[in-house]
Amino acid sequence: MKIARLAARVAVGTLATALATTAVAVPAAQATGKKKPLGTASLAQVLTKDRSGFDRNARDFDVLTAAVLAVLEAKPNSPVKVLTDGTVALTAFLPNDAAFQQLVREITHAQKLPGESAAFSAVAGLGIDTVETVLLYHVVPGATIDRKTAVTADGAELTTALGPTVEVDLRTYWHYFRQVRLVDADTNDRDPRVVAFDVNNGNRQIAHTVDRVLRPIDLP
């Protein structure tokens, strides 16, 4: 599969130091926007709280949760482990199940969307290093970027835990509706949109739901 080139084109071996060397373009004080201390509930706690397993709810995170757990089982010291430490400030963009189903459909050229179990099997089939690479491209360490900050950050370059950046693209409709898109490294796909904000709000680790999987390379 084309996306398997992710592992070849990104030096996964350098990822262990990524969290210590990357930073976001948004000032921390502005990003938090809160006076009271933030809590320490981790995003891993949020993901694993839902124990429904693969189902027909395309808006939750069954495939993502399975992918995170698979990486941590295979590589216990992976940088992905930061998602389990709620004391570490970060912002993550969480692809919902529909996002992974759409990704698998596109890279396999299937006529129909796969079920969640089949989508996870296809993603896992890309290899743990590739899955780890993709997951880290969805994590922005160092700041808690909530919705209030995100909708005023048009053009900001967010440095991911992988190293490469994603750009915030803010679009305004009807003079009041603000939509946040994330421009990834793939110029051929539709850029992911944030469809839900402030998952785990009030904690150092915050997340926003996206409707597509961010791609760290350009796939033809």
User: Which residue, among 56, 31, 1, 9, has the nearest Cα to 185 in the 3D structure?
Assistant: 9
Tell me how many degrees the CA angle 102-106-107 measures, rounded to the nearest 5.
120
Name 45's Cβ contacts closer than 8 Å, sequence gap at least 6: 86
Mean per-residue pLDDT of the chain: 87
Tally helices (H) and strands (E) across the chain.
Answer: 9, 7
CATH 3.20.20.140 is right for the domain spanning 2-210: no
How many whole angstroms separate alpha carbon 114 and alpha carbon 166?
A: 27
Label residue 22 by pLDDT band (50, 70, 90): very low
Task: State pLDDT tens for residues 26-40.
Answer: 434 444 455 689 999
Label residue 177 by pLDDT band (50, 70, 90): confident
Label residue 220 by pLDDT band (50, 70, 90): low
Residue 14 has a pLDDT of 33
Per-domain residue ranges for the chain?
A: 2-210
Task: State pLDDT tens for residues 84-116.
Answer: 999 999 999 999 999 999 999 999 999 999 999
pTM for this predicted structure? 0.85
Tokens, residue 56: 């027909």
> Beta strands 90-95 and 205-210: pairing type?
parallel
Label residue 178 by pLDDT band (50, 70, 90): confident
Tokens, residue 20: 């210590």
Residue 218 has a pLDDT of 86
What is the average pLDDT across 163-173? 94
Residue 19 has a pLDDT of 34
